[in-house]
Amino acid sequence: MLNFSVSEYQERIKRTKQKMAEQGIDVLLVTDPANMNYLSGYDGWSFYVHQLLILIIDEEQPLWVGRGQDANAAKVTTWLNAENIFPYADDYVQSTVKHPMDFVSDILKEIGQANRTIGVEMDTYYFTAKCLESLRKGLPNARFKDVTSLVNWVRIVKSEHEIEYMKKAARIVENAMKVGIESIQEGIRECDVVAKIYHAQISGTESFGGDYPAIVPLLPSGEKTSTPHLTWTDQPYKKGDPVILELAGCYKRYHSPLARTVVIGEPEQKVKDLANVVAEGIQAAIDVVKPGITCEEIEAAWRRSIEKSGFKKDSRIGYSMGLNYPPDWGEHTASLRQGDQTVVQPNMTFHMIPGIWLDNYGVEISESVRVTENGCETFANFPRDLFIK
């Protein structure tokens, strides 16, 4: 069931160890499920309990640690040897008297790693304060260091195989967006539109199926388009409603997000004007993307474009993305915003989403892009219009 060759996983391990060495890390505890997947192939909906990889700088393979009933998932989906899979008993799960990180501490003591410098992903969704408390108690002679996003930065430049998966995700989102736009009508319930979108996301294409995206469909309507991160209700659409659709196709955990805006009936002129500003701005940003430019220079092109029409936007206009699990498809590394001097390289991939949200309405138009040797390309091929129903 491996999605990549063993040699590709081994190359990822090698590059991760190089980063570990640069930061003086002997043992890396990887709790972010996307990073676990990236290094081992592990794929399961088991991240609601504690699980991790232990990557030791002078050992060839990482160790997988997780709930006992998920151990076979590790055997099925990873490239690891069976002896590198360490399941913990079920009485660790949500226990008030012991913690899965106690089990991890015991493993590290048993294999002679208790006195080393241990890197932990302190600022992830999946590593809690209790995790660190348990590790410090169980490994009093270890030195702990925050290495949040260490593996994420290794992931930021994609392989050609990863790019192919993202291109397939783009075919899925093209269809899902088409279904969503076609389904939005006056009198149709928001939830019924989203049900059709979900079907399109999961069924994929005739050639390949889809996966569950890390973020649910975001479909604010009416005045709710003044903010980006609302989902849907069971209320019917009304004539005159603007509707934002922010979706993603997902293939083997790799994402291609896309956002567009629809209006039911003839839109107000101010909405048309805002859509033009957003469309021109995103094109201005896309036009400057190339290897060697910085993230803040890309954002500056957008800012110069919208300032001509009197608009300002304080938030970032995009971020690196690709492989991930709920609740986010972003990689938590480079952002397209002022002050981010990350130098863009070929096969970096970004979701460029420079929406503008005003007091009572907003417009989103986004593209997922791949940096090429000479510029960039969009993953999806979908009209960048304000859609009128």
In this prediction, residue 1 carries a pLDDT of: 84
Report the chain's terminal Cα–Cα distance, integer Å. Answer: 43
- Could you report the per-residue pLDDT of 151-178, keeping only the tens digit for each? 999 999 999 999 999 999 999 999 999 9
Q: Which residues pair with 221 in a beta bridge?
A: 243
Kindly tell me the sign of the dihedral angle through the C-alpha atoms of 126, 132, 133, 137.
positive
Decide if 301 contacts 276 (C-beta within 8 A): no
Question: pTM for the whole thing?
Answer: 0.97
Tens digit of each residue's pLDDT, the chain (389 residues): 899 999 999 999 999 999 999 999 999 999 999 999 999 999 999 999 999 999 999 999 999 999 999 999 999 999 999 999 999 999 999 999 999 999 999 999 999 999 999 999 999 999 999 999 999 999 999 999 999 999 999 999 999 999 999 999 999 999 999 999 999 999 999 999 999 999 999 999 999 999 999 999 999 999 999 999 999 999 999 999 999 999 999 999 999 999 999 999 999 999 999 999 999 999 999 999 999 999 999 999 999 999 999 999 889 999 999 999 999 999 999 999 999 999 999 999 999 999 999 999 999 999 999 999 999 999 999 999 999 99
Angle of helix 295-307 relative to helix 269-288, nearest 10 degrees, comes to 150
* pLDDT value for 279: 97
